[in-house]
Amino acid sequence: MLYWLDLFGTAVFAISGCLIAGRQRMDLFGVMVVALATAIGGGTFRDLILGATPVFWVRDPLYIQIGMASALTVFWGARRININLSELKYADALGLAVFTIIGTQKALDYGAGVTIAMMMGIMTGVMGGMIRDLLCGQVPMVLRSEIYAAASMVGAGVYLLLLAMQVSQEASMLLSALVTLVIRVLAIRKNLSLPTFRFHG
């Protein structure tokens, strides 16, 4: 299940990257670069830090193929169907939920402790989106006041807690991914945000 969720998250993040790049009027090459960076960026940094080399998409090129196929489908399909860009955040939220749990579990597989596993989960979930936003000339979503990385952190924490309670891996993945997704969707719909730093000086 972990493998298929990983491929699914790759497709979702590639689509979100493609849509953001399309909004910036990039050409096909630019769209592909942004889509792939979004889809595999977080996992690449995670694997390099964990020493899991060669990184996942070198060992299994299907990740690249799915990312490219998803981006090409959206690139050509957007010319024929009406894609509501306001729905982009929901696609991104789904990718965030999936990648957070996958990153956390992979860190555990490589012998990382709870703290590092949580950090790797957050990195896997948010780093691709950060790269995407930077390539598109935007302030990364994770650095804004809206709840994004916090949702990833809670989801990773719930996953680790459920595993510690001897809940099955499959159930833990589904429940914690759902928690991440619900928090992020609520933040989008209710315009929830974290407190911002303010000082008088």
Q: Please give the residue that has the higher pLDDT: either 83 or 75.
A: 75
Indicate the SS3 state at residue 144.
coil
- Residue 146, beta-bridge partner list: 193
Closest-CA residue to 129 (of 97, 157, 82, 95): 95
Q: Which residues are CB-neighbours of 27 under 8 A, at least 6 positions away?
A: none
Is pLDDT at 112 greater than 80 in this prediction? yes
pLDDT of residue 90: 86
Confidence of residue 194 (pLDDT cuts 50, 70, 90): confident
**Neighbouring C-alpha atoms within 13 Å toward the C-beta of 70:** 27
For 74, the token pair is: 């959206």
pTM: 0.90
* CB-based burial label for 85 (10 Å; 0-12, 13-18, 19+): exposed
Lowest mean pLDDT: which of 2-11, 108-117, 140-149? Answer: 140-149
Confidence of residue 35 (pLDDT cuts 50, 70, 90): very high
Domain ranges of the chain: 2-190
Are the C-beta atoms of residues 88 and 20 closer than 8 Å to each other? yes
Q: Please give the residue that has the higher pLDDT: either 193 or 42.
A: 42
The span from the CA of 108 to the CA of 141, in Å, is 27
